[in-house]
Amino acid sequence: MQDFIIIGHKAVTAGDFSLNDMPGSAGRMDILCRCINSVFFLSHDLRRNVQAHLLLQGGPNPSRIIRFNGEKLRYLNPDERSAGALIKKALEVDNISFLETRSTPGVWIREGDLNTLLSEFSSEGRKIFYFREDGEDIRGIAEKVKDSVFILGDHLGLTEDEEKLVMEKSTGTISVGPLSLHADHCIILIHNEVDRAAFGQIQR
Amino acid sequence: MQDFIIIGHKAVTAGDFSLNDMPGSAGRMDILCRCINSVFFLSHDLRRNVQAHLLLQGGPNPSRIIRFNGEKLRYLNPDERSAGALIKKALEVDNISFLETRSTPGVWIREGDLNTLLSEFSSEGRKIFYFREDGEDIRGIAEKVKDSVFILGDHLGLTEDEEKLVMEKSTGTISVGPLSLHADHCIILIHNEVDRAAFGQIQR
């Protein structure tokens, strides 16, 4: 199972945002939507053995964790509005608590923060990687990152405090190439590396 | 210069479509929008030495070629609606003809079809590649595909006739990995290969 944590520093935490203005009034919700696309979509299917954990830190109810599970996920199309609609529905769930409540098939929501996720994955013995330009090149370490947890930030990256928190629990940092890319593009590159290792296609 | 041709078989060719329904009534316009994002966006900049040629084949005015040039491009944000708005404006240009008319900075529109594009690139001596699952793995041939033209289709791939046309003029077929991916994801993988070659980062 691959798990992707994506931090939306300004992503709003109430369901009354407009799908017509996700970059603006919804606090760059569009970034999270594109990450959902990258995590799950193949040409003719969804990736099943992956999860996305969206960490929404904007107002009025910071913060929320929305978990998408590929095995159970339904009603997701590749366009941004489709993911946005599922996020919206999740935020509209009544009585969100520290325990997950299921919103739509394959989507759960709860209160929680980065520490919540890091502690849980850590205690399960999962390897945790995050992205830095000076990180280890993912090519050649695909076996190492298989079934890992990846942490990505939105346009604001990781804050200093978040990075400190992550560094305590992480296995390492990775890089996917020489240029600085958006989170949803990084996810595609990770998937490709892991796919190739799974099919024995790494060229060395 | 890298050029990406993306074929939208049903993408509408009038500017009166709704940005709120790009997958539906606009004929999977969302796919073209996501390809624009993949072609151009870096974390903190746009890629400058690339172009996207959207081939819109839906009604009422098939077909249209909308060219995006990275050097001149303005007013593009990463979200689908932003690319959609630029496409919409281009389709609203008066008196679209076989000669390009500039719509917004970095965006031109004209009448034309796949043959138009293939003939032009061919006569300039450009190498043309298209995607097939049995194509040559892009890893290891990055030098060969540098400054090439890539042809991708939407959810309908390439029709039999299109493939015949392409095969006459193409240098070869490429594959980006073991799984069948959406066009916008393939573009990310091509960029990464070419980036790595440019920065001497290919692992062999």
* DSSP letter (8 states) at residue B154: -
Whether B181 and A43 lie within 8 Å, measured CB to CB: yes
pLDDT value of residue B143: 87
Between residues 96 and 155 of chain B, which touch chain A (CB distance below 8 Å)?
A: 137, 139-140
In a domain, A103, yes or no: yes
Q: Residues of A with CB below 8 A from B189's CB?
A: 188-189, 192
Q: What is the pLDDT of residues B17-68, one digit of tens each?
A: 999 999 999 999 999 999 999 999 999 999 999 999 999 999 999 999 999 9
DSSP states of B17-33: --GGGTTTTTTSHHHHH
pLDDT given for residue A203 in this prediction: 52
Q: Do B182 and A43 touch (CB under 8 A)?
A: yes
- Would you say residue A204 lies in a domain? no
Domain-located, residue B119: yes
Distance CA B17, CA B85 (A): 10
| Residue A47 counted as domain residue | yes
What pLDDT shows up at residue B204? Answer: 40
How many domains is chain B partitioned into structurally?
A: 1
Q: Provide the residue range defining the domain that includes B33.
A: 2-198
| Residue A135 within any structural domain of the chain | yes
- ipTM computed for the complex: 0.96
Q: What pLDDT is recorded for position A156?
A: 81
Output the pLDDT for position A197.
92
pLDDT for A181 equals 96
Mean residue pLDDT across chain B: 95
d(CA B109, CA B11): 14
Interchain proximity B78–A199, CB inside 8 Å: no
Angle, helices B29-40 vs B80-91, to 10°: value is 110
Q: How far is B178 from B31, CA to CA, in rounded Å?
A: 21
* pLDDT for the residue A204: 40
pLDDT on residue A201: 67
Angle at CA of residue A11, ends A99 and A40, nearest 5°: 75
Mutate to test the interface with B, among A17, A28, A43, A136 (most CBs of B within 10 A): A43
Distance, in Å, from the CA atom of B144 to the CA atom of A23, rounded to the nearest integer, reads: 38
- As a whole number of angstroms, the distance between CA B68 and CA B105 comes to 9
CA distance A103 to chain B (A): 23
C-alpha separations of A178 from A44, A133, A142, A148, B193 in Å: 30, 8, 17, 22, 10
Share of chain B above pLDDT 90, in %: 90
Cα–Cα dist B129/B106, whole Å: 24
Query: CB distance A180–B80 less than 8 Å?
Result: no
Does residue B204 form part of some domain? no
Average pLDDT over residues B66-95: 98
Mean pLDDT of each 10-residue bin along chain A, 204 residues long: 97 98 97 98 96 98 98 98 98 97 98 97 96 89 92 90 94 94 97 92 54
Separation between Cα atoms, residue B80 and residue A42, nearest integer Å: 19
For helices A29-40 and A80-91, the axis angle rounded to 10 degrees is 110
Contact A78 B182 (CB under 8 A): yes
β-pairing, B2-8 vs B64-69, is: unpaired
The whole-number average pLDDT for the span B150-170 is 93
Kindly report the CATH number assigned to the domain that includes residue B93.
3.40.1280.10
What pTM did the predictor assign? 0.97
